[in-house]
Amino acid sequence: MDKPADHPRVITGKIGVLLVNLGTPDAPDEGAVRRYLAEFLSDRRVVEIPQIFWQPILRGLVLRTRPRKSAHAYSQVWTEDGSPLAYHTAAQARALQARLGDAAIVRYAMRYQKPAMAVELDKLLADGCERILVAPLYPQYSGATTASALDAVANWIKDRRRLPALRTLPPYFDDPLAITALHTDLSAQIAALDFEPELLVLSFHGMPERTLRLGDPYHCHCQKTARLLSETFASSHPDLMVATSFQSRFGRAKWLEPATDDVIKVQASNGIRRMAVAAPGFSSDCLETIEELGIRGREDFEAAGGTHFAALTCLNTTEAGMDMLEALVRRELAGWI
């Protein structure tokens, strides 16, 4: 039977990959930051306080005070290409597309703000993608990150009639591909410094301590990443000490410890003069790595007596990082390409 003359053109047979990162304001100003924080902090995965109690606090206090401070921080890291997180994630998508060629169509999205996951999934459908791999770029699983990204996929599914086959990228916190990539890249950065660090601090984004007691595996995943990296560095850099910490505390609740800012100050006070800090839980450089670690971390270290400090960059689009990402994605696309 021939198609009716007015039948819409439907493209089929393609495979899609959607890289997903957390999100970023559209601009380094209070309005944009307020919109971003309103969406981010309204996610029940992120703040697990009952909404009837949390929303008045969020609307009446947090969104009135925090955007100004955060906007100042963003203004210190903003580039001609916009937010570092958006820039690096877009660059990773382009680099992965070049590596995959015609085997798949690669797009990227943010869990909060733009480009929205639903919009980019719709574009992949329009491009003819009948099979899509959703790849959250979080090495360590957390309900507030990976699960929230999958919530967005589930919400998209509920509102769509025509759906593709879907796969998701598992966490890769202890994958040999990830550990090798991190060790290779960090070792190269350390070798390029004009000083030899005495201590390497592995800083992961913090979470409220109660999430650990409730069964979130995030803390365990971070600790395993740190242990595997420490063991690798023990072989390649036997004189380099390695410490693990958690950054970005927010609010009054008890968070995972030790806190990165405390570790930096205490280590400097205890005589460490040469320190490097890395963030193996972040796939791309962002506010937390550039401003919090690179700027405030240095200030804290030097104020406490340190003399040489380096905030090492994330994998971004380095050869080691893209080798890892390509291998992870190709593995999950097995049978499709």
Domain 176-311, CATH among 3.40.50.12780, 1.10.357.10, 1.20.1250.20, 3.40.50.1400: 3.40.50.1400
* Closest to 175 (Cα-Cα) out of 207, 140, 205, 206: 140
Structure tokens at 114: 């733009």
- 142 pLDDT exceeds 90? yes
pLDDT confidence band for 6 (50 / 70 / 90)? low
Using one digit for the tens of pLDDT, what is the confidence trace for 191-249?
A: 999 999 999 999 999 999 999 999 999 999 999 999 999 999 999 999 999 999 999 99
What's the mean per-residue pLDDT of the chain?
Answer: 96
Query: Is the N-terminal amide bond of 164 cis, ω within 30° of 0?
Result: no
Q: Cβ atoms within 10 A of the Cβ of 4, count?
A: 7
- Quote the pLDDT of residue 179: 98
Q: Are 259 and 296 in contact (CB under 8 A)?
A: no
Q: Is 241 exposed, middle or buried (0-12, 13-18, 19+ CB in 10 A)?
A: middle
- Quote the pLDDT of residue 268: 98
How far apart (Å, rounded) are the C-alpha atoms in residues 44 and 81?
31
**How is the beta sheet containing 105-112 ordered, strand by strand?**
105-112, 14-23, 129-136, 165-168
pLDDT confidence band for 3 (50 / 70 / 90)? low
- First-last CA distance in the chain: 31
- 2 pLDDT exceeds 70? no
- Quote the pLDDT of residue 250: 84
Output b/e per residue, 297-316; b: 16+ Cβ within 10 A. Answer: bbebbeeeebebbbbbbbbb
Name the residue type at position 180. T
Using one digit for the tens of pLDDT, what is the confidence trace for 143-156?
A: 999 999 999 999 99
Q: Are 259 and 247 in contact (CB under 8 A)?
A: yes
Rg (CA), the chain: 21
Using one digit for the tens of pLDDT, what is the confidence trace for 240-275?
A: 999 999 999 987 889 999 999 999 999 999 999 999
- Tell me the backbone φ, ψ of residue 26, rounded to 5 degrees: -75, -20
* Closest to 77 (Cα-Cα) out of 22, 25, 39, 144: 25
> Any idea where the domains of the chain sit in the sequence?
176-311
- Quote the pLDDT of residue 253: 85
* Closest to 113 (Cα-Cα) out of 8, 36, 222: 36
Predicted TM-score (pTM) of the model is 0.95
Write the DSSP string, 265-304. HHHHHTT--EEEEE-TT-SS--HIIIIIIIIIIHHHHHHT
pLDDT confidence band for 30 (50 / 70 / 90)? very high
pLDDT confidence band for 8 (50 / 70 / 90)? low
* Closest to 282 (Cα-Cα) out of 69, 70, 84: 84
